[in-house]
Amino acid sequence: MLPFWHKICRPDRRAVLLALAAVLAPTALAAQDAARRRIGILMPYAAGDATLLRRVKAFRDALERLGWTNDRLAVVERWTGDDLKTVEAAATELVSSPVQVILTTGSRVVPIVQKVTSTIPIVFVGVSDPVGQGLVAGLARPGGNTTGISQLEFTDGQSPLVGKQLELIQRLAPAATRAMLIFSPENPASVFHARTFRQVAEALGLAPVTRPVRTAGDIVEALRDFARDSGGVLVVPSDLTLLANRSLIVSRAADLRLPAIYSDDSFVHSGGLVSYFADRDDLFRRAAGFVDRVLRGEPPATMPVEQPTAYELTLNQRTAGRLGLPIPPALLAQADEIVD
């Protein structure tokens, strides 16, 4: 015969087990979370920007293919817009969270993250001249806690990209006699872009004009002043401020009938004429390889900075028609994407 206490307690065994499970579950979940690695993604763009969301997804998908599934990796995303104080606050938050590595982009943003931490590895995507800007000691051996993928390919300290952009816009607008580069003076890469732009424009027989812009009002004024005389084309480099104002730039260029070439295909999808630049989706996918190596213990100091291997030419056929610019058949055949 069972003891009296056993008869009383037996119906409560299930309740006891459930209560025990409830007590242990948070501990088990905490242990699981502790076992997961944590990475931070700091994007200096508006939350919900479809183009940048696509690029971050390309990175995360590539990381998952490398084995970093949700049960092994926690990803903390911070979207700040181009306000640099907000960028610094978000970087500080990620460092204190803490994370094992931070992925970010932009010549103005990487120095901010480096100021916040000198120990947590930083992987960048899309910096024009990481050595010239002092972000790394060298391409082959970056040193420090930072490495990644530049957005320009350098040969003997020069990048052929600006020259290629000018050649392309000149093929689309062969009657052009002047070219203007707008740029943000806060961007440390602007000095490099402006110098190269002037040299190449003059070599192509185009009178170069460079115009710094900080605000939407500056952009409107610069385009209006330049369009007062005919025969002009516009070159828009890669920059946070310019990308944040892409709708304004595209609409004003259309109103002023100003042929323009951009450094991001999102301008063309917004109605811009043409873009030519490194394939940014590819850059973000390749960045996953850097983060994978960091998570497996490789130090950034010895991971060589890589350069782009794929470039994209995107044309907007409808915009060319509105500007009265026939697209040469050879250029159409060369295009990676035609927007109509």
Task: Return the pLDDT at 156.
Answer: 56
DSSP 132: T
d(CA 176, CA 205): 9
Residues 6+ apart with CB under 8 A from 22: none
Domains of the chain by residue range = 33-155+280-311, 161-278+312-339
pTM: 0.86
Number of CB atoms found within 10 A of residue 217's CB: 10
- DSSP sequence for 44-73: -S-TT-HHHHHHHHHHHHHHHHTT--TTTE
What CATH architecture does domain 161-278+312-339 belong to?
A: 3-Layer(aba) Sandwich (3.40)
Question: In this predicted model, what pLDDT tens digit does every residue of 97-137 receive, in sequence order?
Answer: 999 999 999 999 999 999 999 999 999 998 988 998 899 99
| Virtual torsion, Cα 245, 249, 252, 254, nearest 10 deg | -140
The segment with the largest mean pLDDT, out of 141-155, 157-171, 246-260, is 246-260
CA–CA distances in Å: residue 300 to residues 19, 106, 127, 143, 319: 47, 18, 16, 7, 44
Q: Is the pLDDT of residue 26 over 80?
A: no
Task: Return the pLDDT at 30.
Answer: 41
Number of CB atoms found within 10 A of residue 149's CB: 25
Tokens of 296: 């497996």
d(CA 269, CA 51): 10
Please identify, in words, the CATH class of the domain defined by 33-155+280-311: alpha beta
Q: Is 161-278+312-339 in the same CATH topology as 33-155+280-311?
A: yes
d(CA 253, CA 256): 5
Question: In this predicted model, what pLDDT tens digit does every residue of 68-97 receive, in sequence order?
Answer: 999 999 999 999 998 999 999 999 999 999
